[in-house]
Amino acid sequence: MVSKVITSAVVAGLAVASSARLAGKSSISRPNIEPYPKTLSHPLPTSPQRNKTCSVTSRGSGDDDASAILQAFNDCNNGGTVVLDSDYTIGTALDLTFLNGVDVALSGSITFTDDIDYWVENSFKYDYQNSSTFWKFGGKDVNIYGGGIGLLDGNGQAWYDQFAAEPTLLRPITLVLDGLQGGSWFNLIANSSDILVSDVTINVGSTSSNPAKNTDGWDTLRSDSVVIQDSIVNNGDDCVSFKPNSTNIVVQGLSCNGSHGISVGSLGQYPLEYDIVENVYVYNNTMSNAGDGARIKVWPGIDTAFEPGLNGGGGAGYVRNVTYEMYHNVNNDWIIELNQCYGQSNTTLCQMYPSNMTISDIYFLDFTGTSSKKYDPRVGTLVCSSSEQCYNIHARNISITPPSGKAPQWICNGFDTVDLEGFNCTSS
């Protein structure tokens, strides 16, 4: 992994894993990274150099280092660098949403304890899809960088095994950026703006027969002006997902493996809320061995029981101006999936209660590669619940080969397909 990070509050050069060991720690300095080649409509704010340093000594033997880490952030707030260059254990929830002008130089490792009873009671809770987290960063102008060797270890195996027996178990997100202006990090970026994530490696997997579940690489929620780039994700859920009220997002240069795709949604889950996703550019990414390549998913207009702990539908809003360009696919089940009936398998109900979410001005451009044998020769599915709620869907230069070598087929329902160039559409 390249030892880069960002300029105005960023996250880079880090690794995230469910279980790992780390060696070769060293002192690191903040790298200089910019969004490239695609950029936002405005430059990210610059971040001044820091004027003090706070190092944290690990207690060792798996003892909780949370209090010492919290003290270092208090001491180095307003212009300092917190140095984490050893092997640390965190067993206490950390609220770091008070930061202003802080760098985090992580050349060591941070491992969260697997004390499930403690974390269920004490992790920070979010109403959206019953999310929770071990710790959260927020404030203004925060840079987190790992020099290519820093590691966050969520210690996920105990959670995967417990979740197999308890499917409503709330499993914490490794780290959340909450209310951060100028900054970034892995898994959930919420209520934040001007974020750059670069050169991060995420590895998630299970060593038992119980799979790792809900392992999104990054989700954006109520956030604006976010760039995620030049990173590697090996997981089993969305590589990146744009949740409600995500605007002006660029995702570029990712290599994703085993995921559910780079996804818009799910949206429209909560009846009293108005969700939007707008101005998203997904450029020059590779997706391998995934359920989907490019995906847009919104709930129908009726309450739907999807799976334990996850149901919804009936919410309103729109998805507008989303582009997927230069997308290379390797053995993906669906190259493109557009679904206005997320969570509802009954197509009759979906048509009777069409989605309140409008999907428009969507562009799929310059797709190459192969689909998997799962649906061969079908390679994609675009199913809308209403042509009034789903329009201006474009596809151009789509060159996909199914394993059989047959002409690729596309399932296209519920919208005007005139702008799908070269698609051989079937109804099912």
Domains of the chain with bracketed CATH = 1-174 (no CATH), 238-428 (2.160.20.10)
The residue among 226 and 187 whose pLDDT is bigger is 226
**19: closest CA among 120, 161, 143?**
161
Between strands 175-181 and 187-190, the pairing is parallel
Q: Are 345 and 303 in contact (CB under 8 A)?
A: no
pTM of the entire structure? 0.92
42 is catalytic: no
Determine the Cα angle at 292 with ends 286 and 298, to 5°: 125
What is the rounded distance in angstroms from the CA atom of residue 340 to the CA atom of residue 88? Answer: 44
- Mean pLDDT score of the chain, rounded to an integer? 90
Give me the residues paired with residue 125 across strands: 132
DSSP assignment of 308-338 equals: TTEEE---EEEEEEEEEEEEEEEEESEEEEE
Across the range 348-357, mean pLDDT stands at: 86
Amino acid at 422: G
Q: Which residues of 182-209 are buried (b: 16+ CB within 10 A; e: fewer)?
A: bbbbbbbbbbbbbbbbbbbbbbbbbeee
Per-residue pLDDT band for 230 (boundaries 50, 70, 90) equals very high
Catalytic residue among 42, 260, 328, 394: 260
Gap between the Cα atoms of 164 and 168, Å rounded: 10
Are β-strands 292-298 and 255-257 bridged in parallel, bridged antiparallel, or unpaired? unpaired
What are the structure tokens assigned to 119, written together? Answer: 């974390």
The fraction of the chain above a pLDDT of 90, given in percent, is 73
Give the tokens for residue 251.
């995702």
The residues near 26 (Cβ < 8 Å, ≥ 6 apart) are: 85, 107, 147, 149
Tell which phi-psi region holds residue 388, choosing left (phi > 0), alpha (psi between -120 and 50) or beta.
alpha
Q: How far is CA 100 from CA 79, 142, 196, in A?
A: 7, 7, 17
Q: 304: pLDDT confidence band, cut at 50, 70 and 90? A: confident
CA distances (Å), origin 347, targets 319, 335, 392, 411: 21, 22, 22, 14
360-416 confidence digits (pLDDT tens)? 999 999 999 999 999 999 999 999 988 999 999 999 999 999 999 999 999 999 999
pLDDT tens digit string along 13-39? 666 665 433 334 557 999 889 999 999
At 130 the pLDDT is: 72
Answer whether 216's CB lies under 8 Å from 248's CB.
Answer: no
